[in-house]
Homo-oligomer: A and B are copies of this chain.
Amino acid sequence: MIQGMRPLVHPSIEDITVEGILHALSDPVRVAIYAELAASAGATICSNFLQVSDRSIPKSTLSQHFRALREAGLVRSERHGVEMRNVTRCKEIERRFPGLIAAILNAHSVQATGRAGDTRRKPAPRKTKAA
């Protein structure tokens, strides 16, 4: 037993910086993770992202990515038993930096799909499709 696990660090809303947010989301893996978190209703566990857009992410790397998102103030993480539940802090950030997260997520989707953007939440892709 060399050293235990350090406690989870969550900056308070006024300590969140634009630079911190931009840096955290300037990584393709992190922005993809964040986009999925933002699109999902409830909490999401880390291991859901061991595969991100056809790319396999090592566990230790994934852990660091979540730490980066957490310490930039983008997500809130809570240990529940053996797993870690993550939710975005979109609403708080929206109050401090209006439009920022929406614009970034929209730009990310424009780039991913190659088509013009749409800021609305996607409820559930292809569930109501005819046939």
Residues of A within 8 A of B (CB): 17-23, 25-28, 31, 96-100, 102-104, 106-108, 110-111, 116-117, 119
Could you pull out 6 A-B pairs where Cβ atoms are within 8 angstroms? A18-B104, A19-B26, A19-B28, A21-B107, A98-B116, A99-B99
10 pairs of A and B residues whose beta carbons are closest in the complex? A23-B26, A22-B26, A97-B107, A103-B103, A99-B103, A22-B22, A18-B107, A100-B103, A100-B107, A19-B26
Contact B22 A25 (CB under 8 A): yes
Return A18 CB to nearest CB of chain B, in Å: 4
Contact A108 B18 (CB under 8 A): yes
> Which of B21, B26, B106 is close to A97, meaning CB atoms less than 8 Å apart?
B106
Residues of B within 8 A of A117 (CB): 97-98
Specify the chain B residue showing the minimal Cβ separation from A25: B22
Copies in the complex: 2
Q: Bound state CA distance, A64 and B21, in angstroms?
A: 22
Residues of B within 8 A of A96 (CB): 110
Contact B19 A22 (CB under 8 A): no
